[in-house]
A and B are shown apart, each in its own frame.
Chain A
Amino acid sequence: MTGNSILRIRYSKLGKIRFTSHRDVARIWERTLRRVGIPVVFSEGFSPRPRLGFGLALPTGYESAGEYLDIIASPSSEGDGMFDGVGYASGRRFDVDQLPDLLSRALPEGIDVQAVEVLTTRGESLQEQVVRCGWAFEIAGLDPHLARERVKEVLDLLSLPTTREHKGAVRTDDLRPAITRLVVVGPGDWGTWLEADLSAKPRVVRPSELVQVLAPDGELVHARRTHQWKEQAGAHQEPISCDATLAPHAMVRVL
C-alpha cells in the first residue's frame, strides 16, 4: 500500500473524563480505533504500534473543546477516497463524513469528534504547528471586580517576570509576551471566569500560571482549552480547514 493518508481529527474532552491523563486518552484512542476498524498504519519493528500523532498534551483535570489527533491510515486501493474497514469492520467501507459519528459513538462520554479532515500533504506535526491556545478558566477566591483591575494592570505591563519550577530548577520567565488576550468573562460558581490566548511556543503556557499572577491566594477550579492556533499568512487559524466536516469550532480568528 502506498500513499498513506493523514486523518486529522478535532475532538472535545469535556466533563468527568477531563480527569484522565494525556496518556490515558492515547490508550482510549487505540482501543477505539481497533473497535471501529479504522485501517490504521502500524510502525515496523518488534512491537508494531499504531501510527498516531497526538497534539499538545492537555494537563490532567483540564477540559478541552478542541483537541487534535493525526491518524496515519491506508486508504482503499480502489482510489475513491474511501477507507476499507479492518478487523471487526472488515467488509465495511468508510467515508470520511461518517467518521465523526462512528468514532463519537465508540468513544467514552465527554470525548466527541467534531471534525475529520484528510490532509493532502504531509506538513508539520501538530506539536510543531500549534503556536497558541485559547483558554477559558475559573479562579476560585477571586471577585470579578478585582479580577478586572488585575487584568488591566497585567495588560499594561511591559514585562511580567514569573518564576516556576522546571525539572527541579527554578526558572524565571517573562510571561507578558505569552499573553495576547486576557479578558474577564464574569462570575462563576466558585469565583471568576476569564478567557486568555496564551502562547504554546517555545513552551505551552498554562492558565495555572496566570493564577499566580492574578490571584496568588486563588485556586484554579476549571480550565478549558477552547482553541488551538497555527500561524498562516499572518493570521491564526485552527490546524484543520474551515470547511472540514461538521466543524463548528474550527474557525479563523484574525489577530
Chain B
Amino acid sequence: MSALWTRLEPLLLRVQKPARYVGGEDGMASPQHAPGKVAWLIVYPDTYEIGLPNQGIQILAEILNERDDAVAERSYTPWPDMAAQLRTAGIPLFSIETHRAADEFDVVGFNLATELIYTNVLETLDLAGIPIHAAQRDDDHPVVVVGGHASYNPEPMADFVDVFALGDGEELVGDITEVVSQWKASGKPKGSRRQLLRELAKVQGCYVPSLYDVTYDGDDIISIEPNAPEAPDLVQKRTVADLADWPYPKNQLVPLTEVVHDRLNVEIFRGCTRGCRFCQAGMITRPVRERPAEQVRTMIGEGLARTGYGEVALTSLSTADFSGIEQVVQGIVDDPATCGQTSISLPSLRVDTFTVGLAAKVANARRSGLTFAPEAGTWRMRQIINKLVLDEDLYGAVESAYSQGWPRMKLYFLTGLPSEMDEDTLGIYELAQNCVELGRKYNKKASVTVSLGGFVPKAHTPFQWFGQNSAQELGRKIGLLRDASRRNNRVNLKWHDPKASTIDGLVSRGDRRLGRVVERVWRSGGVFQEWGEYFDYDLWVQSCEAEGISIEHVVTRHRHEDEVLPWQHIHAGLHADFLWQDWQDALDGHGIPDCRWTPCYDCGACTEYGVEHIVASPVPPAGGSQGTGQDTSPDVLVPVVVPDLGATT
C-alpha cells in the first residue's frame, strides 16, 4: 500500500460521504504496478456516486488490467470539501484502488460524457499536481488523454489535453498503451514528449491538438491545419466491429456505498440508426452492433449471481429495438435462481404499445410511473427532428399503460427545436392533456409530468449549424407552457434551467479560444457546474466578456454551409455532405428511414470503416410507426392505425 492512505485517513472523518474515497468495491482489481507496465489512472471528472457506474471506465480499466504491459486504476473528482482538505494537507489526487498519487501514473485518462463538467478536468489535474496546460507539461508528467462523447468537439479543451481518443475505446486503449510503453522503454529522453505525441497522432482515433494550428479572422475560423507530418488532415474515430468480442465489464464493480444506477448494467447493443437529428449519441455511435442474445443472457446470469444485485438494466439507445428483447426479458423474469425477484430496467424506450407490453413484463406489483420521450409537441415538429412518433403511437402507448394500472406518465420534450413555432410548443401541452384524459378512463387520479429540456445543438449532428434559442427565448417558451398548464393540476410541468442550456451550448460548439473561458471559470472557483447548487451562469458570462468571446456568435447564431466549424478536422464517420443534406431535409420536413432494416443511404459510418450493422432480426419490431410503418414522407398524413392493445403482451 502506498503511503497516501495513512495520510488520508484522518481527513476522511472531516468530509461528507467519506466512502467516496475508499474504493473497496466488489470486483475491484488488485493492480500490480511494475516498471515495465504503462500505468493508467482513469478519471471520471464528477463525484464517485456519478462516476462509479460509468461503464466506459469499468470496461477500459478491465481491458487494461488484463494486458501484460498495462495496469489501470480509477479516480473521481473530490468534492470541494475534500479538495480543500487535500490542498491544505498537501496531498495530491490519488487512485481509489491503492491510494497511489496521480503523478505516479504514466497516463491520466478522462471520460467526458458531458460538456458542463469541463472545469472539473482542470480542477482534477490541478489536484493531481499536473500543469493544466498541455504546453507546460514535460517528460516527467503523465500523458493526459480524454475520451467520451464530448471529445467530438475537442476544441474548447484543446489547450489542456495531450491526446483525445475518439470513438470506441476497447482497441484504442491498447494501441495508446503500446506507443507509451515504447516511450517509457526509451527512458523518456529529454524533450521526447513532442515526439511521443507525434507517434500517437499516427494511431487511428487519436487527435493531438498541439499538432494543429488554427487561424482566425475575428470571431470566425479561417483554417485548421496540421503542423506535423504525422497529424492527419481528418482525424478518424474508432469503431469496434463486433460487441461479441468485448463481453465487458466481466466483473462489474459493486460499490460499498450508494451510487446512481446502483444495479447490474448489461450493454445489449451499441449504436442507433433511428436517425433522430437532435441526438448526438445516435449519430456518432453508428452502426448498430447487437450483442448476441446468448452472451447477454450469460452476462446477466453470471452478473446477478456474482454481485447479488436485485436489479439489472439492459442498456443501449432505444432498448426495445434489440432483436428478441421479449425473450431476453422473459428469461430474466423466469430465472429460478433469482426467485422471480429481479427487477429489470429498460432505460430508453420507444413510444409504442410494444414497449408498454415489455414494461408490463418487467414491472413488479407496484406500478408507479412510466416514461416516454416523444420529444416534440406536433407531428410536423417530430418530422423535422426525425422522431417519427405519431400522436396515435403516444396515445396508444399511454392508454395501454393506464389500462394496465400505471397511474402516472412522464413525458420528455425538447423545446427550442429548429423552426419550432408557438403552436408546436403548445402542442406539448395538448398532448399531455389528451394523455390525462385517456388516463381518467382508467384511473381518477391519472396524471402526466412533462419534463422540458432546452435543445442544445451538438457537433456531428444535422443540427450542428442551427442557432440555439437564447435563454430568454427558451424562457418565453417555457412560460407559454406554464400558462397553458397552470389551471390543469393533472399536468405537472418541470423544466431545465434555460441558462444552463446556454452554457451547455457555449462549451459544446465553441472553438479553441473557449478554453480561456473554461480556465477563467475554474480559476474563479467554478467547479461541479453540472450541479445546480454550483452552476454559476454569471461567472460564465463575465468570463466570456473578459476573454472577448461572444456568446451570441457561438451559441445563438445560425452557421452557414461553407464556414469552418471548430470540429471540422474531426471525423465521426458521418460525411459532411450527408449531415448538410439531412439538415436541409429536416427543414423541408423530410424524414429518413432506419437503415438497419432498409437500404443503406451511405451516411459514412459503415462505409468509411468497413463495418456493418450486426442485427439478429431482419425485420423491425412490431408496434407503432416507430416499428413497422415509419412514415418518412414530407407532411403527408399516413393512414392512422390505432395499435391493437390486446396484442402487446
Enumerate chain A interface residues (CB-CB to B < 8 A). Answer: 16-17, 19-21, 23-24, 27-28, 30-35, 46-48, 60-61, 86-88, 90, 106, 108-110, 140, 190, 219-221
Contact = CB atoms under 8 A, between A and B. Distances in A.
Given A19-B18, A32-B308, A46 B13 contact: no
Contact of A46 (B21, B22, B258, B365): B365
Contacts of B341: 48
B307 A20 contact: no
Nearest to B367: A46
Interface string B1-41: 00000000110110000110111101000000000000000
Contact of A220 (B13, B256, B305): B13
B305 A35 contact: yes
Given A20-B256, A47-B366, 11 more contacts: A17-B24, A19-B18, A20-B19, A24-B19, A31-B310, A34-B308, A35-B305, A47-B364, A90-B336, A110-B24, A221-B13
B404 to A, nearest CB: 15
Contact of A19 (B22, B305, B306, B365): B22
B338 interface: yes
B10 A28 contact: no
A17 B366 contact: no
Contact of A60 (B18, B26, B338): B18
Given A34-B310, A61-B12, A108-B256, A87 B366 contact: no
A24 B262 CA distance: 12
A188 to B, nearest CB: 12
A185 B257 CA distance: 33
B256 A87 contact: no
Interface centre among A35, A47, A86, A221, by most chain B C-beta atoms within 10 angstroms, is A35
A39 to B, nearest CB: 10
A158 to B, nearest CB: 32
B254 A21 contact: no
Contact of B254 (A31, A88, A221): A31
15 contacts: A16-B24, A19-B18, A20-B257, A31-B307, A31-B309, A35-B306, A35-B307, A61-B13, A87-B339, A90-B336, A106-B308, A108-B24, A108-B26, A110-B24, A220-B13
Nearest to B13: A61
A60 to B, nearest CB: 7
Given A20-B19, A24-B257, A87 B24 contact: no
Contacts, number: 74
B204 to A, nearest CB: 41
Contacts of A20: 19, 22, 256-257
A219 B256 CA distance: 26
A27 B256 CA distance: 8
Interface residues of B, number: 30
B308 A31 contact: yes
Interface string B585-624: 0000000000000000000000000000000000000000
B287 to A, nearest CB: 37
B338 A21 contact: no
Contacts of B26: 108
B337 A90 contact: yes
A86 B19 contact: no
Given A46-B365, A47-B365, A35 B13 contact: no
A21 B305 CA distance: 25
Contacts of B9: 221
Contacts of B23: 16
Contact of B21 (A19, A23, A86, A221): A19
B13, B24, B26, B254: most-surrounded residue (chain A CB, <10 A): B13
Nearest to B18: A19
Contacts of A140: 10
A35 B435 CA distance: 42
Contact of B339 (A47, A60, A86, A106): A86
Contact of B258 (A24, A48, A106): A24
Interface of B: 9-10, 12-13, 18-19, 21-24, 26, 254, 256-258, 262, 305-310, 336-339, 341, 364-366
Contacts of B256: 17, 20, 24, 28, 108
B22 A23 contact: no
Contacts of B339: 86-87
A21 B24 CA distance: 14
A71 to B, nearest CB: 15
A108 B23 CA distance: 11
Contacts of B258: 23-24, 27
A117 B440 CA distance: 54
A114 B399 CA distance: 55
Contacts of B262: 27
Given A16-B24, A190-B10, A88 B310 contact: no
Nearest to B254: A31
Contacts of A28: 256
Contacts of B365: 46-47
A125 to B, nearest CB: 25
Contacts of B364: 46-47
A19 B309 contact: no
A21 B19 contact: yes
A249 B222 CA distance: 76
Which 4 pairs show the lowest CB-CB distances between chains A and B? A31-B308, A35-B308, A19-B18, A46-B366
Contacts of A219: 10, 13
A17 B19 CA distance: 8
Nearest to A48: B341
B97 to A, nearest CB: 11
Nearest to A47: B366
B12 A19 contact: yes
A24 B258 CA distance: 6
B337 A87 contact: yes
Nearest to A19: B18
A140 B19 CA distance: 22
Contacts of A90: 336-337
Contacts of B12: 19, 61
B94 to A, nearest CB: 13
A184 to B, nearest CB: 20
A33 B19 CA distance: 22
Contacts of A21: 19, 257
B25 to A, nearest CB: 8
B308 A221 contact: no
Contacts of A16: 22-24
A119 B168 CA distance: 55
Given A46-B366, A60-B18, A221 B24 contact: no
Contacts of B309: 31
Nearest to A27: B258
A157 B545 CA distance: 65
Given A46-B365, A46-B366, A47-B366, A19 B308 contact: no
A60 B336 CA distance: 37
B310 A221 contact: no
B337 to A, nearest CB: 5
Nearest to A138: B10
Contacts of A190: 10
Contacts of A35: 305-308
A31 B341 CA distance: 13
Nearest to B307: A31
A45 to B, nearest CB: 8
A78 to B, nearest CB: 20
Contacts of A88: 305, 337
A219 B14 CA distance: 10
B213 to A, nearest CB: 49
Contacts of A46: 364-366
B495 to A, nearest CB: 30
Contacts of B307: 31, 35
Nearest to B310: A34
Nearest to A46: B366
A87 B308 CA distance: 11
Contacts of B305: 35, 88
Given A31-B307, A108-B26, A109-B24, A87 B338 contact: yes
Contacts of B21: 19
A30 B254 CA distance: 13
